[in-house]
Each structure stands twice: as structure tokens, then as C-alpha cells.
Amino acid sequence: MENTESDNNSSSMFACTNCGAELKYKPGTTTIKCEYCDTVNEIPQLKTEIEELDFNSYLDKKSESGDTMSVHVVKCSQCGASSTVDPKIRSEYCPYCSAPLIISSATDEFMLQPKYLLPFKIDKNEAMKIFNVWVNKLWFAPDNLKKASLNFDHFKGVYIPYWTYDSDTESFYTGQRGTYYYVTQSYTANVNGKAVVKTRQVRKTRWESVSGQVSRQFDDVLTVASKSLPDEYIYALEPWDLKNLVAFDSKYLSGFVTEKYQTDFKECFVKAKERMDEIIRSDVRNDIGGDEQRILQLDTDFKDITFKHILLPVYVSAYKYETKLFRFLINARTGEVQGERPLSWTKIILAISAAAAAVAVIVWIANVMR
């Protein structure tokens, strides 16, 4: 399939059907009410038939699959992230590092148009409340964190690009099964100043060689196509309700930032296989059985590989605490929060000291009661 510009999806804004004013999508709704003439504009809700694309069929093609769309993109000079901006704005901040963007350097580009997306379900105000609850529950957070300079002016809803993969796998392994057994061991202990011989049970492990085969069908293994956010945080936002994916419609993008795909479907499949491998190794350990397992060799065949490209909604921002920047993410479907945050070393040292003191008291009481 050749890349073609989609005329219907060339803008992240769309016009009111009555007065022509530009409208913005409101999270969690299927309609957009015009603030100028009160006309309710429907976003068509069609039953979405999810199409999976054959991975091997696209390997030799120069481009990914699907159409492109025209977007106004600016690249952050500080963190390097490329994201969409409204052509009419005069100033803006990077959603990933809060650095001022050089709007004059923005360019019109063609961007891979995803096939599907999950619309924003949580609005900005609710997301900010969720973040404040998260901050209040943090252990060892500084007491004055609430008074820190929270950059909610830079709080952005961002559509993050992902690839998803399906695959049937067949894995062959060799390894070892460890089974516990116990032996009686004699030892000498000092009891009331006298040497006394005692016995105890000591655990040993008996190993035997094993081999076998496990199979698994993977569905919608997610890999993020962005390099702007740490994997440990973006993947911790899972799970996503992918059963509610809708066909791509630029109306859902209005009022939000959309990040460009930074990695193609071939590069991301390497990461997808790593995610699958973790599950396959768990299956192998279960298949080996016993009390302990060692996997010496594992070979996996990936068959019937399919993929698709989607956008998932995340609130992204950063906040400053004592001049240092900390980033956080919110799943705009479930409210899951992940991110970086400062630690109060004073609180940590006090907690360690209190724990050490408690242990010392317990030891002292035990010695007194002997």
C-alpha cells in the first residue's frame, strides 16, 4: 500500500457544522459542543473492525503501512522530542521536559497516520487531581513537595505512538530441574557454657537434565514507538483497554499533542520479542517444574506475525523541586500514575535510625529475658 496524504485527516482541529468555528475534543465524550453557537457536533461512532497487517509482507517495503497526514511539528532543542503544535500559537513548552519550544523552527511534515487509537477518557482537571493524590501517598517524599513549583501550565495530553504485535510461538528448551531434599547435619552449640552436639535439617538440591517444548499465542504485545520517555515508566502504565480501540479520526486529536513515530515496525518487533521472551521463559520454568529451574538453551520460532500502529493517550508533564526536573505520566484511560519524584534523605535517615533503634531494643530485651 502506497503512502498517500489523507485529505480528511490533515488537521488536528475540525470545524463546527453550523458556524465553522474550530472545535476541540472533550475527553470521555462522543460529541463536541461549539462554544460559540452551542451546536452539538457528533463524532461518528462506527463499529471498528480491527485489521492486523502481515509482518513478513511489509519487511521488504521501504515504508510502513497506511496513509500519512500533514502535521505542524517542532523538535525540542533540549530533549529532542518531536511533537505536533498548533500553527497559530506563539509560544509553547515541551511536554516531556518543560523546556520552551522554538516555535519559529516548526515545520510542516508528513507523519505516519495510525490506524486506530484510544481516545482520552480522563480530562485534564481529573488527571491533576489524580496526580495530587499520588504525590500525597509517596513514601519518603519531602514535606514541602506540595509547595513545590508544579508545572501544571505545562501539563499536556499527548497521544503516544505504539506498535502492537500478534504471534504464535513454539519454543524448544533444554535445562535442569532442581528438587529439594534434606539431610541431617550434626553441629556443636554452646548451651549454658557447655558444648552440646545437636542436629539440624539442611536443604540440598538434586539436579536432573530436562528438555521440552512450550507453545503460546501472543495478542497485542505493545511496544512504544517513542524514545522521549523512559521505558520503565511508559510500560508501567499498562494494562490498556485495547478492546475499545476506535478507527483513527483526527477529531480525537484536537486539543492534544501527537508525537511522531520514532521507531519503525521492524525495530520495535525486536523489543516485542524481548517482552514475549519474558513470558515464554516463565512458561518454560512452569513446564520444567520442580523446586528450582535452570534454562540452558531456548530457541523460539515466531509464526503468523501480524502488527498494527495505534495511538494511546497519556498526560505528560514535569515538575521542579529544588531546581531539578521530575517527569510523570498518567494513563488517560485508567488513571494509573508513574514517574520520577524526589526523596527526602532526612526522612530516609530518620526511618533507618528508628528501625535500627527498634532492633537494638528487641535484642536488649531478648538478652535480659535469657
Residue 352: what pLDDT?
Answer: 62
pTM score of the predicted model: 0.77
The continuous run of DSSP H or E covering 196 comes out as strand 194-224
Per residue of the chain (370 residues), give pLDDT as tens: 333 333 333 334 567 777 877 777 778 777 777 878 878 877 766 567 888 888 988 877 655 455 778 888 888 888 888 888 877 777 788 888 777 888 878 788 877 888 999 999 998 889 888 887 887 766 655 555 555 545 566 688 999 999 999 999 999 999 999 999 999 999 988 888 888 888 999 999 999 999 999 999 999 999 999 888 888 899 999 999 999 999 998 888 888 888 888 888 999 999 999 999 999 999 999 999 999 999 999 999 999 999 999 999 999 887 766 677 778 899 999 999 998 766 554 554 555 666 666 666 666 666 666 5
Cell digits of residue 134:
499520588
Residue 9: what pLDDT?
Answer: 35
CA distance linking residue 285 with residue 287, whole number of Å: 5
Residue 181 DSSP SS3 = strand
The continuous run of DSSP H or E covering 268 comes out as helix 265-288
Nearest Cα neighbor of 99 from 228, 11, 227, 211 is 228
- The label of the residue with cell 486529536 reads 253
Residue 150: what pLDDT?
Answer: 58
Asked if 175 contacts 284 with a C-beta cutoff of 8 angstroms, the reply is yes
**Residue 166: beta bridge partners?**
306
CA distance linking residue 356 with residue 116, whole number of Å: 54
- The label of the residue with cell 531539578 reads 324
- The label of the residue with cell 524514545 reads 227
CA distance linking residue 212 with residue 171, whole number of Å: 8
DSSP string, 286-317: HHH-SSEEEEEEEEEEEEEEEEEEEEEEEEEE
Strands 107-112 and 68-75: antiparallel
pLDDT in tens, 204-219: 999 999 999 999 999 9
Residue 138 DSSP SS3 = coil
Q: What is the dihedral of CA 248, 252, 255, 260, to 10 degrees?
A: -20
Nearest Cα neighbor of 348 from 143, 144, 139 is 139
Burial of 146 (0-12, 13-18, 19+ CB in 10 A): exposed
State in Å, rounded, how far the first CA of the chain is from the last one: 82
CA distance linking residue 311 with residue 116, whole number of Å: 7
Residue 179: what pLDDT?
Answer: 97
Residue 245: what pLDDT?
Answer: 94
Residue 12: what pLDDT?
Answer: 40
